[in-house]
């Protein structure tokens, strides 16, 4: 199976990326997590990304706040899928990162997930879906996960109905 490269612009993003890492581990997706900055270490980013395919990477996840150029720089140097994770940093709560992530010019595609809590988890799940296109075992794990999610919602509804006497 190809691996996922999880790049973050700062190590301060790590705590908010735990759900992403947890999902990658849950689905047994090999990954490499690195701190790289589009602005402070641009050559390091380009060298890493240009060697990505050769090093077994199948998807790049790029978490960045503020100007959030990391995903765009990565996408400019690879044909592999790139998913941007806009981080909800002060002072604008992630709106700046979201806008930077979704405003890629035509020809440089970057997918984007939500700002805040659900974004990191969904980035891992989106990467899993991409990798599952060529990995039947992973596809089965994703299907089981969706069934688990549906069962949990059903259980919550049952508890609500009991509580309301319905």
pLDDT tens for each residue of 72-92: 999 999 999 999 999 998 889
pLDDT at residue number 166: 67
The C-alpha atoms of residue 156 and residue 59 are separated, in whole angstroms, by 34
**What pLDDT band is residue 56 in, cutting at 50, 70 and 90?**
very high
Q: How far apart are CA 62 and CA 48, in angstroms?
A: 13
pTM score, two decimals?
0.94
The reported pLDDT for the residue numbered 117 is 84
pLDDT at position 54 over 70: yes
């Amino acid at each position: 199976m190809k691996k996922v490269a999880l790049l973050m612009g700062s190590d301060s993003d790590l705590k908010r990326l735990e759900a992403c890492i947890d999902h990658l581990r849950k689905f047994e997706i090999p990954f490499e997590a690195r701190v790289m900055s589009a602005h402070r270490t641009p050559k390091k980013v380009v060298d890493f990304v240009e060697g990505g395919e050769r090093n077994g990477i199948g998807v790049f996840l790029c978490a960045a706040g503020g100007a959030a150029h990391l995903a765009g720089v990565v996408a400019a140097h690879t044909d592999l899928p790139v998913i941007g994770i806009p981080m909800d940093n002060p002072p604008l709560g992630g709106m700046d990162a979201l806008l930077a992530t979704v405003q890629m010019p035509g020809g440089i595609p970057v997918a984007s997930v939500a700002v805040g809590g659900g974004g990191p988890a969904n980035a891992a799940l989106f990467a899993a879906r991409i990798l599952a296109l060529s990995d039947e075992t992973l596809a089965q794990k994703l299907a089981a996960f969706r069934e688990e999610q549906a069962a949990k919602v059903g259980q919550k509804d049952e508890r609500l109905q009991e509580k309301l006497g319905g």
